[in-house]
Amino acid sequence: MSKKTTPELLFKELAKKNTFPRCLCVISPDKVRLDRAIEFLISSVSNNSNTKPDIFRFSLRGIKDAELISLEEHALSPSLFSSRSLIILSQVEHVSASIGQKILKLIENSLSADFIICGEKIAKNTTFYKQISSNFLLTNLAELKGKELNTWISKELKRNGIQKASSATIDIIAKIGEENLDKISNMCLQLGLYSEDGSLTPSDIYVLFHQIADPNEFGLPDTIVGKNSGDVEVMIEELMQTGKNSFLMLLRLFWTYNAVAKILSLQSRNLNTATLAQKLSCNEWVLRKYLTIAKHYNSELSFKSICAIAEADSKLKNKSTGETSVLSNVCQKLSPKFV
């Protein structure tokens, strides 16, 4: 029957028992938690048995006759080397009505195999769902939102060696990852490899995932192409006084002007906004910001701008000139009036 307790409690309870249910169905909207749940269950079955079960995996997406025959053999034939077999049937969302009935019959007739059926979703109006939920264990991993999502992200960061991350940092990860746990898990893995001291800031995220723009990063380029050159000097002073990293500021200028150069090179192809955003690996909001800046340049000027940024980067690294002076000088060179 469908289990009312949480999936986590159910899995822990199963781990304590010496027997495994004939069939357990696990549904999860994301792959990362589903994969971990299945591996946990496999480990539990192995730990609670005198001998490790033989494990067989089948995908229900477009399952072929030959695979069905193999599935039947494993389900109905006793194992020579283990007391039981564990059959994992994935992608249940793709199971057809006819295949579903065959699987239900196999589960009923099998004497030596346990089954884990799993997938992203399962249609509730099908006979297959009704039989599974009525006769076996079925549990759903709920979609995570709000505080639950942020708690999961915090744990995922710690899983990857990051112990310090502010709530603002976690909010940014959730936003960039589009609240998709599979994307977020991959992000946390990359961030863990990037972080050397186990801490993480919003700036670290924007450095690593440079295709995602910090909403504040366009302030300086917007001012550079503006009418009043004095505003640039004021902004640089303000940014430096608030502790902004000069290398990071220069890096963001490079991303912007590199994108501008790409836009100018693609102009003749008359690409629509969605295609152009895809080419630049950015969203349409960021593209609109790039397009606004690109209006002030041509291909030659954008190339000179990138060269000016490279020269400024060299000066910063050599510490031949003060940081504020280097930034002021490069912003002057980036002005359409100058280049």
pLDDT (tens digit per residue) in 59-88 = 999 999 899 999 999 998 876 666 678 999
Q: Is residue 339 part of a domain?
A: no
User: Burial letters for 89-108: b for 16+ Cβ neighbours within 10 Å, e otherwise?
Assistant: bbbbeebeeebbeebbebbe
48 pLDDT band (50/70/90 cuts)? low
Measure the CA–CA gap between 276 and 273, rounded to whole angstroms.
5
What confidence score (pLDDT) does residue 236 get?
87
Report the DSSP pairing between strands 54-59 and 85-90: parallel
Q: Is residue 320 part of a domain?
A: yes
269 CB contacts (<8 Å, ≥6 apart)? none
pLDDT in tens, 106-127: 999 998 899 999 999 999 999 9
Largest CA distance in the chain: 83
The mean pLDDT of 245-249, rounded to a whole number, is 78
Of 215-229, 288-302, 304-318, which gets the smallest average pLDDT?
Answer: 215-229
As a whole number, the mean pLDDT across the chain is 86
What confidence score (pLDDT) does residue 283 get?
78
Verify that 179 and 73 share a domain, yes or no. no
Measure the CA–CA gap between 181 and 5, rounded to whole angstroms.
22
Verify that 202 and 170 share a domain, yes or no. yes
Tokens encoding 231? 């505003």
What confidence score (pLDDT) does residue 221 get?
87
Using an 8 Å Cβ cutoff, are 118 and 90 in contact?
Answer: yes
Measure the CA–CA gap between 25 and 41, rounded to whole angstroms.
11
Verify that 33 and 88 share a domain, yes or no. yes
Output the CA torsion 305→306→312→317 (10° steps). Answer: 170
Q: Is residue 2 part of a domain?
A: no
Output the CA torsion 35→39→44→45 (10° steps). Answer: 100
Site of tokens 């034939």:
77
Q: Is residue 1 part of a domain?
A: no
Per-residue pLDDT at 204 exceeds 90: no
Verify that 320 and 224 share a domain, yes or no. yes
Per-residue pLDDT at 176 exceeds 70: yes
The domain boundary residue, chosen from 116, 140, 164: 140
Verify that 191 and 228 share a domain, yes or no. no
For the chain, strand residue ranges (E) read: 23-27, 54-59, 85-90, 113-119, 137-140, 164-165, 199-200
Ramachandran area for residue 45 (φ above 0: left; ψ -120 to 50: alpha; else beta): alpha
The domain boundary residue, chosen from 115, 140, 165: 140
What confidence score (pLDDT) does residue 210 get?
59
Closest alpha carbon to 263 in 283, 277, 249, 252: 277
Supply the pTM of this predicted model.
0.64
Q: Is residue 101 part of a domain?
A: yes
1 pLDDT band (50/70/90 cuts)? very low
What confidence score (pLDDT) does residue 280 get?
85
Measure the CA–CA gap between 126 and 139, rounded to whole angstroms.
17
Number of structural domains found in the chain: 3
The mean pLDDT of 142-160, rounded to a whole number, is 95
The domain boundary residue, chosen from 160, 177, 208: 208
Domain that holds residue 98: 7-140
- What letter does residue 337 receive in the DSSP assignment? T
